[in-house]
Amino acid sequence: MTPLLIGLFAYIAVLAVLGPRLIRVCRRWQSAAPRLGLVFWTALATSWVVAVISAGLAAMAQLSGGHGLAALLHACLRALLTIVGVHSLADAPAAIALLGSGVVIGRLLVVAARHVRRTRRHRELHRKTLRLFSNAVVGNGIRVAVVEAEQLAAYCVPGRCSTVVLTTGALRRLVPAERDAVMAHEIAHLRGKHHLMSGWAAILADAFPFVPLLKAASQEIARLVEWIADDRAGRRHGNRAVARALAVMATSPAAPVPKVALAAAGSGVPERVRRLLQPRAAVHSACWRIVAALALPVVALVAAAAVLVPCATADPTPICSGRPSLSASAR
């Protein structure tokens, strides 16, 4: 194997185990620049999955003697036949490499399809319930539904016909500045498409629950989208108003919130309140640190492309013309 491919395998192994430790290192920087932190963790988790798939395919191509795109397809077929019944031990490593990439791709597609289907169904059911049991108004392009309930709740249901939901208990308990802050928080979720990043991270974590990195990335992305929405609301209505609204909602009886929604006081409220009220790290320094950290997934993605491109662009003649493969000639 080439040194680049070996390095890609090392990246996969090291990051899978030690990736969660980056949270403690990056937490202070991310507090000052949560948008960059969101980009970093999304790119890091995605680069790990891409690296796994690319390393498996590239290793299969090299071990089976692939010389180009046509030869790569030929090698895939030969490796699949080997998986069904191994005719030669020399082809077994290529079959194992292909099987690994195939399992990763298949698992990812199945979990993603199931997640999208389940999420759409639950959101549609919740929208139907809101139409029956709430009063809805549309303002500034945002649909707001008010549900009759003494408990406090404020959340948004993204997707088609995006809706911000408030209970009458929240409207009564929150003062006007706090209500405006909560609304700005939920609108920030909808306009920032935060459900897409959270959903992608959840898909990766569900598809590969045994990888600590992906579980940590999902939790960190869920935290960061709340920080981003808090900051957006704080810029418009003041950090103190946002912090007071979070404190009131977190310390009052809460109405149930659907899992497919993003709630204002859903998680990490004490940490979010402290973050809003305490001084933060210098934004300029934090931005440069996170941009530097982004070099890690970027290099991994470039390496993944570098090991696959030669397999797709090299001359396929040796295998396509019926000449023996590298593994066959080695025998």
Q: What pLDDT was estimated at residue 331?
A: 45
Contacts of 188 by beta carbon, 8 Å cutoff, 6+ apart: 194, 228, 229, 232, 233
- Please indicate whether residue 115 or residue 71 has the higher confidence score (pLDDT): 115
Q: What pLDDT was estimated at residue 94?
A: 60
Of 45, 85, 309, 35, the residue nearest 203 (C-alpha): 45
Average pLDDT value for residue range 282-293: 73
User: Can you read off the two tokens belonging to residue 140?
Assistant: 């500034």
The DSSP secondary structure of 93-142, one letter per residue, reads HHHHHHHHHHHHHHHHHHHHHHHHHHHHHHHHHHHHHHHHHEEEEEETTE
SS3 label, residue 264: coil
Name the pairing type of β-strands 134-139 and 262-263: unpaired
Q: What pLDDT was estimated at residue 229?
A: 94
Number of domains in the chain: 1
Q: What pLDDT was estimated at residue 185?
A: 94
Q: What pLDDT was estimated at residue 321?
A: 45
Cβ(300)–Cβ(11) under 8 Å? yes
Using pLDDT thresholds of 50, 70 and 90, give the confidence band for residue 312: low
Of 12, 18, 107, the residue nearest 59 (C-alpha): 12
Of 251, 226, 242, the residue nearest 156 (C-alpha): 226
Distance CA 224, CA 263 (A): 14
Q: What pLDDT was estimated at residue 99?
A: 67
- pTM score of the predicted model: 0.81
Q: What's the domain range around 23?
A: 3-330
Percent of the chain with pLDDT over 70: 78
Q: Does position 76 have pLDDT exceeding 70, yes or no? A: no
The pLDDT tens digits of the residues spanning 122-177 come to 988 888 888 887 777 877 678 888 988 888 889 999 987 888 999 999 999 999 99
b/e per residue 214-244 (b: at least 16 CB within 10 A): bbbbbbbbbbbbbbbbbbbbbebbebebbbb
Distance CA 89, CA 331 (A): 10
**Based on the number of CB atoms within 10 Å of its own CB, is 61 exposed (0-12), middle (13-18) or buried (19 or more)?**
buried
Q: Does position 31 have pLDDT exceeding 90, yes or no? A: no
Q: Which residues, listed in sequence order, are joined to residue 254 by a DSSP beta bridge?
A: 152
Of 331, 177, 123, 167, the residue nearest 255 (C-alpha): 167
Q: What pLDDT was estimated at residue 326?
A: 43
The pLDDT tens digits of the residues spanning 174-227 come to 999 999 999 999 999 999 999 999 999 999 999 999 888 899 899 999 999 999
φ/ψ of 68, rounded to 5, equals 175, -175
Percent of the chain with pLDDT over 90: 27
Distance CA 156, CA 262 (A): 5
Distance CA 263, CA 57 (A): 41
Mean of the per-residue pLDDT values for the chain? 80
Distance CA 176, CA 179 (A): 5
Using pLDDT thresholds of 50, 70 and 90, give the confidence band for residue 36: confident
Q: Does position 322 have pLDDT exceeding 50, yes or no? A: no
Tell me the range of 26-30, 89-93, 102-106 where mean pLDDT is highest.
102-106
Comparing 46-50, 176-180, 294-298, the range with the smallest average pLDDT is 294-298
